Amino acid sequence: MRRPLVAGNWKMHGTRQSVEDLLLGLNGQEWPEAVELAVAPPALYLQQCGEALQGSPIRLAAQNCAWQAEPGALTGEVSPSQLRDAGCEFVLVGHSERRTLFGETDAVICRKFAAALACGLRPILCVGETREQMEAGQTADVVGRQLQAVLEVFGVGGLAQGVVAYEPVWAIGTGLTATPEQAQDVHSMIRGRLALLDSDQAGCVQIIYGGSVKADNAVDLFGMPDIDGGLVGGASLNAEEFGAIARAA
Ligand code: PEP
């Protein structure tokens, strides 16, 4: 019913040369047909990636977008319509690095979600709790609040036009991965909340997991019933490892 999605977030890594090498590696991989695939390079390299990935099943994703759909006077920003023009299908919104390092609030993230949808992009809404919040037993509250901001405006049907990425902040780039059971608990809690609002649509929402996903933990994570693939940071910078993760989904 739900197609798995594996998306690589290259963050602020790469040069034209290293991106070319990575693309060569990606184009040398066998990709599973049943899995949706995407990579999110730095905006500067979207065009290079789009050209090299023509004919590949790997779709383009952006790491961020402006909160306004159309181009305008927003120095330094990239509008969702421009991302669409550059060939993007997905855009990350609310990545924890945007929330913590750039002060993005739930309200701002909701505007970005709206602008992305308005341009035909599929927003990947990132949610997740910090280590302190997890230790204080606040995971459900924090994730629930982050989701609620978008649900209030778009409902479950709107959310289903995008993707939810559960990314515990304590697991991002730390080498600490949530156990498959820990991640499944949160994914199932999310789906349960969505089902209370709209039981038909809740089963359609792709909920992917992110946080130190690697080739050697992907099979167990993706084997969980509510984990519909992964958002992969560091490991997506290695074409062979990204390929192995995709084949695990
Ligand atoms: C991310 O950046 O979204 C991420 C999950 O990173 P990593 O896989 O490196 O933890």
CA dist 248 to 32, 231, 243, Å?
9, 13, 9
ipTM: 0.97
pTM of the complete model beyond 0.95: yes
- pLDDT tens, residue by residue, 117-174: 999 999 999 999 999 999 999 999 999 999 999 999 999 999 999 999 999 999 998 8
**Are 210 and 6 within 8 A, CB to CB?**
no
- Distance (Å, whole) CA 139 – CA 135: 9
64 is in an annotated binding site: no
- pLDDT tens, residue by residue, 52-78: 999 999 999 999 999 999 999 999 999
Full domain range(s) for residue 91: 5-248
- Distance (Å, whole) CA 218 – CA 209: 10
Where do the H-state alpha helices sit in the chain? 16-27, 46-52, 80-85, 96-101, 106-118, 131-135, 139-159, 180-197, 199-202, 215-222, 239-248
What pLDDT was estimated at residue 125? 98
Q: Which of 95, 97, 187, 241 is catalytic?
A: 95
Q: Which CATH number do you get for residue 137? A: 3.20.20.70
* The total number of structural domains that make up the chain: 1
Q: Which residue's CA is the nearest one to ligand 1's atom 1?
A: 233
Ligand 1 atom nearest 175 alpha carbon: 10
Pocket perturbation via mutation, ligand 1, pick of 5, 91, 164, 172 by most ligand atoms within 8 A of CB: 172
70 given a catalytic annotation:
no
13 given a catalytic annotation:
no
14 is in an annotated binding site: no
Asked if residue 128 has its Cβ within 6 Å of ligand 1, the reply is no
pLDDT band, very low/low/confident/very high, at 19 (cuts 50, 70, 90): very high
Q: Which of 97, 104, 129, 167 is catalytic?
A: 167
- pLDDT, averaged across the chain: 97
